[in-house]
Chain A
Amino acid sequence: MNKYYLGIDLGSTTSKAVIIDENDQIIGRGITNTRANYKVAADIAREEAIYDARFTLLSNIIKTDMEAKPEFKKYMEDIRTVFQYQQFKRRMEILEEKLVKTSEAFPYPNKNEIIDRLKSILNVIRPQIRHEFVHGGLGSKNQFFRDIVSERYNLEVAKAGKEFYEPLMLAFDKSITPVENEMVQYNFKELILESMKVLEEKYKGLADEQEDGSKEDWYYAELNAVRNNYKNVELSLREHFELVAEQEIHIANMVGTGYGRALLPFPEECIKSEILCHAFGAHAVFPNTRTVLDIGGQDTKAIQVDSHGLVTSFHMNDRCAAGCGRYLGYIADEFGISLNELGPEAMSATKETTICSTCTVFAGAEVKELIHNGEERPNILAGLHKAIVQRAMSLIARSGGVKNEFTFTGGVARNQAVLKYVKQMVTESYGEVTMNIHTDSIFMGALGGAMFARRNVTAALPA
Chain B
Amino acid sequence: MSVLVVVECDGGEVKKSSLEVASYGSQVAQLLGTTATAVAVGEATEANLAKLGEQGITKVLYDAEPRLKDFVNGAYTKLIATAAQKEDSKVIVLANSNIGASVGSRLSVRLQASLATNVVELPKTDGGSFLVKRGAFSGKAFADVKLEGERKIIAVKKNSIEALHEAGKTAQVEGFSAQLTDADFADAPKQVVMQDQAGGILLPEADKVVSGGRGMKGPENWSLIEDLAKAIGAATACSKPVSDVDWRPHHEHVGQTGITVSPNLYIACGISGAIQHLAGVNSSKVIVVINKDPEAPFFKAADYGIVGDVFDVLPKLTQAVKELS
- Do the two chains bind? no
Residues of chain B having any CB pair with chain A under 8 Å? none
Q: Which residues of A line the B interface, CB within 8 A?
A: none
